[in-house]
Structure 1
Amino acid sequence: MVGVTFFGNFDLASLSIWLFWGFFALLIYYLQTENMREGYPLETEDGDIAPNQGPFPVPSPKTISLPHGQGKVVVPSAENEMQHRRENLAMARTAVGEGFPHKPTGDPMLDGVGPASWVPRRDHPELNGAGRPKIQPMSLHEGFFVSAGRDPRGLPVVCKDDKVVGTVTEIWIDEVEHMIRYLEFELEPEYGGGTKLMPIFLVKVKPRWVDIKTLNSNRMAQIPDIRTPGQISCLEEEKIMTFFGGGTLYE
């Protein structure tokens, strides 16, 4: 028999378990190094390359072709990380050692630091599988409507300081995820006028008004604008979301 004459007294069960553990260790190593293609090489708080990159080595660069003619990106690479870095921020150290938070030295909401910090993402809209912007006003899509709850269009917008600053005019949807992302509202002239977007996750739609939970009325004119009507880029999303989110601490 093969099991007797070929292997003799060799422990096949032991071989199987050690092969499994070896495969599992290699799988963890592969997944961890692939996970290090973004955000690496690690940097210190001041932007220098950190001397300690962790227990796993940084993987060799890989070129990825982006869909819909959006070009190529090499990851990981210091050049790629430089594109997502903001210089000369209005912040200062609070301690000599690394890992301690920095403190803002100006208006953190306008400077975009701390909880209101934003990353310079691509200044192009996020696309769906067909190459079209996935976040658009609901009025551009006949198949979408408010099926449950209160339709916020036409409701007044009330800030954290209980002042009415505008009126909701439009709903912006994610047609891929089938969910509301933003509410568009028209500002009253006394607060700067114009059209602004507010993230649906940071406001509360009530029966008679829409409540902005994180910002006071004096911040309305400072809400970041969008460049193209009916279309929002990833960079514009980043600035709007972090502006509203930063108000949770700074307002």
Structure 2
Amino acid sequence: MPGAHQFVQMDLAAGLLYAFFAFFFILCLWLHREGKREGYPLISDRPSHPLRVPIEGFPGVPPLKHFKLAHPDAHALNRQERDLSALLEPADGYPGAPLLPTGDAMRDGVGPASYAQRADVPDLAFDDGLPKIIPLRAAPGFVIGESDPDPRGKPVVTLDGKIAGVVVDLWVDRSEMILRYLEVEASGGARRVLVPMFLATINAAGTVRVISVTAAQLAAAPGIALPEQITLLEEDKVSAYFGGGHFYATAARSEPLL
């Protein structure tokens, strides 16, 4: 019979099993750390933490990941997160309570209308290094197909049934060969705004419907600095504004169904 003092023998099967256990443990730690790239470190809102101590947990927040882009952003490492403390307030006094907008959520860019602090430079095409999203008036060789409705010169009807303006041009993505924005001149000719193409519908007659915002909200949409160029930051602001309108455009949209 084997004695009471016997060494554990290691064979190939046992070694592979223990190696798998070690690999799986390291993999779980690595995945948990990688999952902290967004939203961490947490900022405590407990009264016992008056200094709002950042919370990372274990394992800690991973180091910044640097992407080698075709057109590098020189300001990416110095960009700070937006301070939303004056734009939101807790719905109740307990820690972790939902945050409610204190003003115009769509214009403030909070909640569903939030946007990212992207680079304030245009997205460039790979072949010629020029801005890839431009209006048709500045894109020689790009035209609307004969079988497709052309909304230029057609009215834009918004959520409240009002005519908010007229489409004056279309913005094309030269790399993807797709229309990205409608350029709308607001009623009264006060200003021009860009409306995301995928948040608009065009009927056979060319009439455009934008149900995410009202006429007044369309006229107050974020603008662009240059008439024939849109930056990555401006794209995010425009898309967030009109997308957030599906929740914030009217009080009824943000209220519960029952």
Q: Scaled by the length of structure 2, what TM-score is found?
A: 0.75
Is residue 66–residue 72 contact of structure 1 (8 Å, CA) maintained in 2?
A: no
Unpaired stretches in structure 1, ≥5 consecutive residues: 1-8
Flag the 1:27–1:165 CA change in 2: closer, same or farther, 3 A: same
- Residue 6 (structure 1) aligns with: none
Identify the residue that residue 225 of structure 1 maps to in structure 2. 223
CA gap of 1:156–1:35, structure 2 versus 1, over 3 A, is same
Aligned partners of 1:65 and 1:72 also within 8 Å = no
The aligned length equals 234
Cα deviation, residue 166, structure 1: 2.0
- For the 8 Å contact 2:144–2:150, the answer to whether it is kept is no
Counterpart pick for 1:99 among 88, 96, 99: 96
Q: Any idea what SS the aligned residue of 2:230 has?
A: coil
Q: Does 1:50 align with 2:54?
A: yes
Q: 3-state SS of the aligned residue for 1:99? A: coil
- State the AA in 2 paired with 1:153: R
How much has 1:37 moved relative to structure 2?
A: 4.0
TM-superposed deviation, 1:193: 2.7
Identify the structure with the greater helix proportion: 1
Q: What pairs up with 1:87-166 in 2 under 5 angstroms?
A: 87-130=84-127, 131-139=129-137, 140-142=139-141, 145-146=144-145, 149-166=148-165
Deviates more, 1:228-237 or 1:134-143: 134-143
CA RMSD of the aligned region, Å?
3.1
CA–CA separation in structure 1 for the residues paired with 2:140 and 2:59: 48
- TM-score between both structures, scaled by the size of structure 1: 0.76
Matches of 2:120 and 2:185, distance apart in 1: 24
Any idea what the Cα deviations from partners look like across 1:62-116, whole Å, max 9, x if unmatched?
A: 6666543532644xxxx75xx1213553322112233321222223233333333
Q: 1:205 to 1:17 in 2, by over 3 A?
A: farther
The residue number in structure 1 matching 2:11 is 11
- Whole-angstrom CA distance in 1 between matches of 2:44 and 2:147: 48
Q: Work out whether 1:193 is the aligned partner of 2:190.
A: yes
Moved more, 96-105 or 214-223: 96-105
Q: Could you tell me whether the CA contact under 8 Å between 1:198 and 1:244 is conserved in 2?
A: yes
Q: Are the counterparts in 1 of residues 75 and 119 from structure 2 also a CA contact under 8 Å?
A: no
The question of whether the paired residues in 2 share the 8 Å contact of 1:64 and 1:73 is answered with no
* 2: CA distance, partners of 1:42 / 1:126: 31
Q: Is the contact made by 2:212 and 2:242 (CA closer than 8 Å) also made in structure 1?
A: yes
Local SS of the residue matching 1:161: coil
Question: Is the Cα–Cα contact under 8 Å of residues 170 and 184 in structure 1 kept in the other structure?
Answer: yes
Deviation (angstroms), 1:38: 4.8
Specify the code of the residue in structure 1 equivalent to 2:216.
N
Structure 1 residues 63, 90: closer, same or farther in 2, change over 3 A?
closer
After superposition, the C-alpha distances for 1:207-242 in whole angstroms (9 at most, x for unaligned) are 221101111112232111100122111221222112
Q: Are the aligned partners of 2:167 and 2:182 in contact in 1 as well (CA < 8 Å)?
A: yes
